[in-house]
Structure 1
Amino acid sequence: MHESNVFWFGWILTFVVSCIVLSLSSKRKTNSIEDAAAPSKITDLEQQCLRLREQLQQQKTQLNQDFQTDTFEQLQTLLTNYPSARKMAAANPNLPAQNLSALFTPLENLLENWGIEAIGVPWSQVSYNPRLHQPDTDDLLAGEPVYIRFVGYQQGDRILCPARVSRTPPPIQNAESASR
């Protein structure tokens, strides 16, 4: 009876050891498969990181453009009227606004940094361009001579607001011409 217990004990021990060995060998195979898959996981993560960086850069650019557009829209009335007011102040030194012109230099620098350019110079005569100008009458033809009443603005090819134009020169310019 003692020998049969040893016999069965040997078989059970052999079976347990075999199970442990098989378990360890299957773990090694799984690890070697995972090790082989690791480079592709790293590549996938690197590509995902590059995509996320690109998306972040695009969002940053879009946010900057949105900020510039929103700010410009809030300042548009000031920006379109200021150059004409400055021209009037220069034409009439008795106006109290003469000293205020220098205060707007930082605003002009901001527009320059944003790539926003004025369309026209107040009171200058130009050829009418329906894309760049907003006429005071509906019967203007392209190429017809007009005067810039209020400047417009563009950023690259995009017109932010057209320059307001008229066939007749501004009244102050007429007064200047008459006094000469």
Structure 2
Amino acid sequence: MPNTQYPIPNTQKLQDLMQQVGISSFKALSRAAGVSERQILRLRQGKLEQMRVEVLLKLSSVLQMSLNELITAFSTLELLQEQKAPTQELLQEIADLRREYDRSQLQLEQQREILLQELQQSSLQLLESLLLQWPTAAQKAQENPQLAAVKIVPLVQKPLEKLLQAWGVEAIAPVGAELSYDPQLHQLMEGIAQPGEKVKVRYTGYLQGEKLLYRAKVSPV
């Protein structure tokens, strides 16, 4: 007798979904999802209740549909009624995965909060002298307008330099410096200048490693 092959029930349905996302073969689907072709065969045969949720999640992601949509597409009402125990296990596994996801999100949020607190704490330590001495210096300056500002500058300058150094931030050039105009690093405040012409720094700019934070503001000499 001739060897007659019967069509697998959900083959055409799966091929239609694959075509929508540009996947041409079951082997290509297997590679894209990172699951075995045997698992794909189970899906085609309507044996979805025998498949792990992890596998279904991978397939639904590649097919660009939700897990619920995949289950609905390859399950029937009769199947759900006949296989109550496996279905309940499947739903329980989905619930467990959701709880694990929520727990991971909470942990990430807590880690962000801890990192932010550590950053704030280290920054406050670097600015300690400014925090402790600046209010007193400002009060004395108000009480005595004749107090030379040069005596107050170090209170601000030194902690700021420590903080910038700790963060790997450095000035492009000091205020008052004369240098060759570079439009990549310098911003003209007034006038016109060609690259290479002398300009004077009015407000310093900053680099963090190779990243430009702020261009230095300059004016033609």
**Larger helix proportion of the pair:** 1
Query: Which TM-score bucket, shorter chain as reference?
Result: 0.3 to 0.5
Q: Give TM-score scaled by structure 1 length.
A: 0.42
Higher-Rg structure is: 1
Q: Give TM-score scaled by structure 2 length.
A: 0.36
Of structures 1 and 2, the one scoring higher in RCO (CA 8 A, sep 6+) is 1
